Amino acid sequence: MVLRSGMLWLARNEQAEDLVRRSGVSRALVKRFVAGEDLSTALDRTLGINAQGMDASLDLLGESVEDEAAARAAADTYVDVLDQIQAAGVRSNISIKLTMLGLDISEEMAWGNLRRIVVHAGERGNFVRIDMEGSAYTERTLALFRRIHDEFPEAVGIVLQSYLYRTDSDVEEMIARRARVRIVKGAYNEPETVAYPHKSDVDAAFRRHIKLLIRSGNYPAIATQDEAMLRGAKLYADGIGVGQERFEFQMLYGVRRDLQEAIAAEGYNMRVYVPFGTMWYPYFMRRLAERPANMFFILKNLVRR
Protein backbone atom coordinates (compact mmCIF):
# COMPACT_ATOMS: atom_id res chain seq x y z
CA MET A 1 0.00 0.00 0.00
CA VAL A 2 2.85 2.38 0.83
CA LEU A 3 4.58 1.57 -2.45
CA ARG A 4 1.36 2.14 -4.38
CA SER A 5 0.88 5.50 -2.68
CA GLY A 6 4.44 6.41 -3.60
CA MET A 7 3.85 5.60 -7.25
CA LEU A 8 0.67 7.66 -7.28
CA TRP A 9 2.63 10.56 -5.77
CA LEU A 10 5.22 10.16 -8.55
CA ALA A 11 2.37 10.42 -11.07
CA ARG A 12 2.15 14.11 -10.06
CA ASN A 13 5.90 14.76 -9.85
CA GLU A 14 7.40 16.71 -12.76
CA GLN A 15 11.00 15.60 -12.13
CA ALA A 16 9.98 11.93 -12.11
CA GLU A 17 8.01 12.50 -15.29
CA ASP A 18 11.07 13.98 -16.99
CA LEU A 19 13.18 10.96 -15.99
CA VAL A 20 10.59 8.47 -17.20
CA ARG A 21 10.11 10.28 -20.50
CA ARG A 22 13.89 10.27 -21.15
CA SER A 23 14.36 6.63 -20.17
CA GLY A 24 14.43 4.26 -23.11
CA VAL A 25 13.57 1.35 -20.83
CA SER A 26 10.50 3.17 -19.53
CA ARG A 27 9.37 4.18 -22.99
CA ALA A 28 9.44 0.55 -24.09
CA LEU A 29 7.09 -0.34 -21.24
CA VAL A 30 4.85 2.65 -22.01
CA LYS A 31 4.13 1.12 -25.41
CA ARG A 32 2.62 -1.85 -23.65
CA PHE A 33 -0.04 0.28 -21.93
CA VAL A 34 -0.51 3.18 -24.40
CA ALA A 35 -1.64 2.57 -27.97
CA GLY A 36 0.43 5.39 -29.45
CA GLU A 37 0.92 9.13 -29.25
CA ASP A 38 -1.20 9.90 -32.33
CA LEU A 39 -4.72 8.96 -33.41
CA SER A 40 -3.60 7.16 -36.57
CA THR A 41 -1.52 4.68 -34.58
CA ALA A 42 -4.30 4.22 -32.03
CA LEU A 43 -6.83 3.51 -34.80
CA ASP A 44 -4.52 0.88 -36.29
CA ARG A 45 -4.23 -0.79 -32.87
CA THR A 46 -8.01 -0.61 -32.48
CA LEU A 47 -8.61 -2.27 -35.85
CA GLY A 48 -6.40 -5.12 -34.64
CA ILE A 49 -8.52 -5.41 -31.49
CA ASN A 50 -11.70 -5.45 -33.62
CA ALA A 51 -10.22 -8.22 -35.77
CA GLN A 52 -9.99 -10.37 -32.63
CA GLY A 53 -13.71 -9.98 -32.01
CA MET A 54 -13.52 -7.18 -29.45
CA ASP A 55 -14.74 -3.58 -29.34
CA ALA A 56 -12.82 -0.60 -27.98
CA SER A 57 -13.12 2.69 -26.15
CA LEU A 58 -10.62 5.29 -27.33
CA ASP A 59 -9.32 7.66 -24.66
CA LEU A 60 -7.26 10.76 -25.48
CA LEU A 61 -4.95 10.99 -22.47
CA GLY A 62 -4.85 14.22 -20.51
CA GLU A 63 -6.36 15.75 -17.38
CA SER A 64 -6.31 18.83 -15.13
CA VAL A 65 -6.33 21.31 -18.01
CA GLU A 66 -6.27 24.88 -16.73
CA ASP A 67 -6.12 26.75 -20.03
CA GLU A 68 -9.31 27.54 -21.96
CA ALA A 69 -7.65 27.15 -25.35
CA ALA A 70 -6.32 23.71 -24.35
CA ALA A 71 -9.77 22.62 -23.15
CA ARG A 72 -11.36 23.70 -26.42
CA ALA A 73 -8.58 21.95 -28.34
CA ALA A 74 -9.31 18.73 -26.47
CA ALA A 75 -12.98 18.98 -27.46
CA ASP A 76 -11.92 19.62 -31.08
CA THR A 77 -9.75 16.52 -30.98
CA TYR A 78 -12.56 14.36 -29.65
CA VAL A 79 -14.89 15.59 -32.39
CA ASP A 80 -12.21 14.56 -34.89
CA VAL A 81 -11.76 11.20 -33.14
CA LEU A 82 -15.47 10.49 -33.60
CA ASP A 83 -15.23 11.42 -37.29
CA GLN A 84 -12.16 9.22 -37.77
CA ILE A 85 -13.81 6.28 -36.00
CA GLN A 86 -16.68 6.49 -38.45
CA ALA A 87 -14.45 7.00 -41.50
CA ALA A 88 -12.19 4.05 -40.60
CA GLY A 89 -15.07 1.73 -39.76
CA VAL A 90 -13.64 1.11 -36.30
CA ARG A 91 -15.86 -0.44 -33.63
CA SER A 92 -15.14 1.96 -30.80
CA ASN A 93 -16.77 4.53 -28.58
CA ILE A 94 -14.85 7.22 -26.67
CA SER A 95 -13.94 7.92 -23.04
CA ILE A 96 -13.40 11.45 -21.75
CA LYS A 97 -12.27 13.20 -18.56
CA LEU A 98 -14.05 16.40 -17.58
CA THR A 99 -10.90 18.04 -16.22
CA MET A 100 -9.48 17.75 -19.74
CA LEU A 101 -12.50 19.70 -20.97
CA GLY A 102 -12.01 22.53 -18.48
CA LEU A 103 -13.76 21.47 -15.26
CA ASP A 104 -10.97 23.12 -13.23
CA ILE A 105 -11.67 26.37 -15.10
CA SER A 106 -15.45 26.38 -14.75
CA GLU A 107 -18.35 23.97 -14.89
CA GLU A 108 -19.86 25.89 -17.79
CA MET A 109 -16.63 25.58 -19.77
CA ALA A 110 -16.66 21.81 -19.22
CA TRP A 111 -20.39 21.65 -19.96
CA GLY A 112 -20.08 23.43 -23.28
CA ASN A 113 -17.25 21.17 -24.43
CA LEU A 114 -18.98 18.05 -23.13
CA ARG A 115 -22.29 18.84 -24.80
CA ARG A 116 -20.58 19.51 -28.12
CA ILE A 117 -18.88 16.10 -28.02
CA VAL A 118 -22.01 14.22 -26.96
CA VAL A 119 -24.12 15.88 -29.66
CA HIS A 120 -21.51 14.95 -32.25
CA ALA A 121 -21.39 11.35 -30.97
CA GLY A 122 -25.17 11.07 -31.07
CA GLU A 123 -25.28 12.31 -34.66
CA ARG A 124 -22.86 9.52 -35.60
CA GLY A 125 -24.58 6.80 -33.64
CA ASN A 126 -21.69 6.63 -31.22
CA PHE A 127 -21.38 6.79 -27.43
CA VAL A 128 -19.42 8.83 -24.88
CA ARG A 129 -18.27 7.44 -21.54
CA ILE A 130 -17.44 10.04 -18.89
CA ASP A 131 -14.52 8.78 -16.82
CA MET A 132 -14.47 9.31 -13.07
CA GLU A 133 -11.44 11.07 -11.60
CA GLY A 134 -10.35 11.63 -7.99
CA SER A 135 -12.97 11.97 -5.26
CA ALA A 136 -12.68 15.77 -5.25
CA TYR A 137 -14.40 15.65 -8.65
CA THR A 138 -16.97 12.94 -8.01
CA GLU A 139 -20.04 15.04 -7.25
CA ARG A 140 -19.17 17.70 -9.84
CA THR A 141 -18.75 14.99 -12.47
CA LEU A 142 -22.04 13.36 -11.54
CA ALA A 143 -23.82 16.72 -11.61
CA LEU A 144 -22.73 17.34 -15.19
CA PHE A 145 -23.49 13.73 -16.10
CA ARG A 146 -27.05 14.01 -14.80
CA ARG A 147 -27.49 17.17 -16.85
CA ILE A 148 -26.19 15.66 -20.10
CA HIS A 149 -27.91 12.31 -19.53
CA ASP A 150 -31.27 14.02 -19.09
CA GLU A 151 -30.81 15.48 -22.57
CA PHE A 152 -29.06 12.59 -24.38
CA PRO A 153 -29.73 9.38 -22.43
CA GLU A 154 -28.69 7.02 -25.23
CA ALA A 155 -25.41 8.75 -26.09
CA VAL A 156 -23.63 9.04 -22.76
CA GLY A 157 -22.66 6.88 -19.79
CA ILE A 158 -20.68 7.22 -16.56
CA VAL A 159 -17.96 5.47 -14.58
CA LEU A 160 -18.39 4.68 -10.87
CA GLN A 161 -15.63 3.59 -8.48
CA SER A 162 -16.39 0.83 -5.98
CA TYR A 163 -13.78 1.93 -3.43
CA LEU A 164 -15.78 5.06 -2.56
CA TYR A 165 -18.25 4.72 0.31
CA ARG A 166 -20.85 6.71 -1.61
CA THR A 167 -20.97 4.34 -4.59
CA ASP A 168 -23.74 2.09 -3.21
CA SER A 169 -26.18 4.99 -3.47
CA ASP A 170 -24.68 6.21 -6.76
CA VAL A 171 -25.21 2.78 -8.34
CA GLU A 172 -28.83 2.77 -7.18
CA GLU A 173 -29.35 6.26 -8.62
CA MET A 174 -27.87 5.30 -11.99
CA ILE A 175 -29.99 2.15 -12.14
CA ALA A 176 -33.09 4.23 -11.46
CA ARG A 177 -32.29 6.64 -14.29
CA ARG A 178 -31.36 3.76 -16.66
CA ALA A 179 -27.86 5.16 -17.14
CA ARG A 180 -25.13 2.97 -18.58
CA VAL A 181 -22.46 2.44 -15.92
CA ARG A 182 -18.88 1.22 -16.16
CA ILE A 183 -17.99 -0.10 -12.71
CA VAL A 184 -14.33 -0.09 -11.64
CA LYS A 185 -12.55 -0.63 -8.36
CA GLY A 186 -10.77 2.76 -8.48
CA ALA A 187 -7.19 3.81 -9.14
CA TYR A 188 -6.61 7.07 -7.25
CA ASN A 189 -4.97 7.57 -3.87
CA GLU A 190 -7.97 8.42 -1.67
CA PRO A 191 -8.22 9.21 2.07
CA GLU A 192 -9.96 6.81 4.44
CA THR A 193 -12.63 9.45 5.00
CA VAL A 194 -14.08 8.78 1.53
CA ALA A 195 -12.78 5.38 0.41
CA TYR A 196 -12.30 1.88 1.79
CA PRO A 197 -8.67 1.57 2.93
CA HIS A 198 -8.52 -2.25 2.73
CA LYS A 199 -8.50 -4.35 -0.43
CA SER A 200 -10.93 -6.87 1.03
CA ASP A 201 -13.54 -4.15 1.55
CA VAL A 202 -13.01 -2.77 -1.96
CA ASP A 203 -13.40 -6.27 -3.41
CA ALA A 204 -16.60 -6.84 -1.43
CA ALA A 205 -18.03 -3.54 -2.68
CA PHE A 206 -17.05 -4.35 -6.25
CA ARG A 207 -18.80 -7.73 -6.09
CA ARG A 208 -21.88 -6.06 -4.62
CA HIS A 209 -21.99 -3.45 -7.38
CA ILE A 210 -21.41 -6.02 -10.13
CA LYS A 211 -24.42 -8.01 -8.94
CA LEU A 212 -26.65 -4.94 -8.67
CA LEU A 213 -25.76 -3.80 -12.17
CA ILE A 214 -26.06 -7.23 -13.80
CA ARG A 215 -29.43 -7.76 -12.16
CA SER A 216 -30.94 -4.32 -12.71
CA GLY A 217 -28.59 -2.14 -14.76
CA ASN A 218 -28.79 -0.94 -18.35
CA TYR A 219 -26.03 -2.77 -20.25
CA PRO A 220 -23.38 -2.35 -17.52
CA ALA A 221 -19.65 -2.56 -18.23
CA ILE A 222 -17.68 -4.61 -15.71
CA ALA A 223 -14.11 -3.32 -15.86
CA THR A 224 -11.57 -5.65 -14.26
CA GLN A 225 -8.64 -7.94 -14.96
CA ASP A 226 -9.33 -9.89 -11.76
CA GLU A 227 -10.13 -13.46 -12.86
CA ALA A 228 -12.04 -14.25 -9.67
CA MET A 229 -14.28 -11.23 -10.25
CA LEU A 230 -14.80 -12.21 -13.87
CA ARG A 231 -15.76 -15.78 -12.91
CA GLY A 232 -18.11 -14.50 -10.25
CA ALA A 233 -19.84 -12.13 -12.68
CA LYS A 234 -20.34 -14.88 -15.26
CA LEU A 235 -21.72 -17.31 -12.67
CA TYR A 236 -24.06 -14.71 -11.20
CA ALA A 237 -25.42 -13.70 -14.61
CA ASP A 238 -25.94 -17.33 -15.57
CA GLY A 239 -27.61 -18.07 -12.23
CA ILE A 240 -30.26 -15.38 -12.62
CA GLY A 241 -30.77 -15.88 -16.34
CA VAL A 242 -29.11 -12.69 -17.63
CA GLY A 243 -27.80 -13.30 -21.14
CA GLN A 244 -24.33 -12.39 -22.37
CA GLU A 245 -25.81 -9.72 -24.62
CA ARG A 246 -27.02 -7.66 -21.63
CA PHE A 247 -23.61 -6.61 -20.28
CA GLU A 248 -19.99 -6.35 -21.29
CA PHE A 249 -16.57 -6.84 -19.79
CA GLN A 250 -13.90 -4.18 -20.18
CA MET A 251 -10.16 -4.49 -19.78
CA LEU A 252 -7.18 -2.20 -20.26
CA TYR A 253 -5.07 -2.12 -23.38
CA GLY A 254 -1.92 -4.16 -22.87
CA VAL A 255 -3.13 -5.97 -19.76
CA ARG A 256 -3.94 -9.71 -19.94
CA ARG A 257 -4.46 -9.87 -23.68
CA ASP A 258 -4.75 -13.63 -23.39
CA LEU A 259 -7.66 -13.24 -20.99
CA GLN A 260 -9.34 -10.63 -23.19
CA GLU A 261 -9.23 -12.96 -26.18
CA ALA A 262 -10.44 -15.94 -24.13
CA ILE A 263 -13.48 -14.03 -22.82
CA ALA A 264 -14.37 -12.84 -26.33
CA ALA A 265 -14.02 -16.42 -27.61
CA GLU A 266 -16.54 -17.54 -24.98
CA GLY A 267 -19.10 -15.24 -26.62
CA TYR A 268 -19.06 -12.42 -24.06
CA ASN A 269 -18.96 -8.80 -25.15
CA MET A 270 -15.41 -7.58 -24.54
CA ARG A 271 -14.33 -3.96 -24.87
CA VAL A 272 -10.71 -2.83 -24.59
CA TYR A 273 -9.95 0.61 -23.12
CA VAL A 274 -7.44 2.09 -25.59
CA PRO A 275 -5.53 5.16 -24.33
CA PHE A 276 -3.45 7.29 -26.68
CA GLY A 277 -1.77 10.68 -26.85
CA THR A 278 1.31 12.52 -25.65
CA MET A 279 0.03 13.14 -22.10
CA TRP A 280 0.48 9.52 -21.05
CA TYR A 281 2.60 9.91 -17.91
CA PRO A 282 -0.07 10.10 -15.12
CA TYR A 283 -2.05 7.24 -16.67
CA PHE A 284 1.10 5.16 -17.06
CA MET A 285 2.10 5.62 -13.42
CA ARG A 286 -1.37 4.63 -12.22
CA ARG A 287 -1.08 1.43 -14.23
CA LEU A 288 2.31 0.72 -12.66
CA ALA A 289 0.83 1.29 -9.21
CA GLU A 290 -1.48 -1.65 -9.92
CA ARG A 291 1.37 -3.96 -10.98
CA PRO A 292 4.17 -4.37 -8.38
CA ALA A 293 6.58 -6.15 -10.75
CA ASN A 294 6.48 -3.23 -13.16
CA MET A 295 6.81 -0.73 -10.31
CA PHE A 296 10.09 -2.26 -9.14
CA PHE A 297 11.34 -2.44 -12.73
CA ILE A 298 10.80 1.28 -13.32
CA LEU A 299 11.99 2.39 -9.87
CA LYS A 300 15.24 0.44 -10.33
CA ASN A 301 15.88 2.24 -13.61
CA LEU A 302 15.00 5.64 -12.15
CA VAL A 303 17.48 5.08 -9.29
CA ARG A 304 20.18 4.20 -11.82
CA ARG A 305 19.51 7.48 -13.61
> Does the predicted TM-score (pTM) go above 0.85?
yes
Q: Is the pLDDT of residue 292 over 80?
A: no
Which of 45, 129, 180, 182 is catalytic? The answer is 182
Told to judge if 258 belongs to the known catalytic residues of this protein, a careful annotator would answer no
Answer whether residue 11 is part of any domain. Answer: no
pLDDT computed for residue 27 by the predictor: 67
Count structural domains, the chain.
1
CATH number, domain containing residue 120: 3.20.20.220
Answer whether residue 16 is part of any domain. Answer: no
3-state secondary structure the chain: CHHHHHHHHHCCCHHHHHHHHHCHHHHHHHHHHCCCCCHHHHHHHHHHHHHCCCEEEEEECCCCCCCHHHHHHHHHHHHHHHHHHHHHCCCEEEEECHHHHCCCCCHHHHHHHHHHHHHHHHHCCCCEEECCCCHHHHHHHHHHHHHHHHHCCCCEEEEEECCECCHHHHHHHHHHCCCCEEEECCCCCCCCCCECCCHHHHHHHHHHHHHHHHHHCCCCEEECCCHHHHHHHHHHHHHCCCCHHHCEEEEECCCCHHHHHHHHHCCCEEEEEEEECCCCHHHHHHHHHCCHHHHHHHHHHHHHC
**pLDDT, tens only, 142-174:** 999 999 999 999 999 999 999 999 999 999 999
As a whole number, mean pLDDT of residues 71-82 equals 97
Answer whether residue 291 is part of any domain. Answer: no
The lowest-confidence range among 19-28, 61-70, 194-203 is 19-28
Which of 131, 170, 180, 287 is catalytic? The answer is 131
Told to judge if 38 belongs to the known catalytic residues of this protein, a careful annotator would answer no
Answer whether residue 290 is part of any domain. Answer: no
Range of the domain at 40: 35-279
Answer whether residue 295 is part of any domain. Answer: no
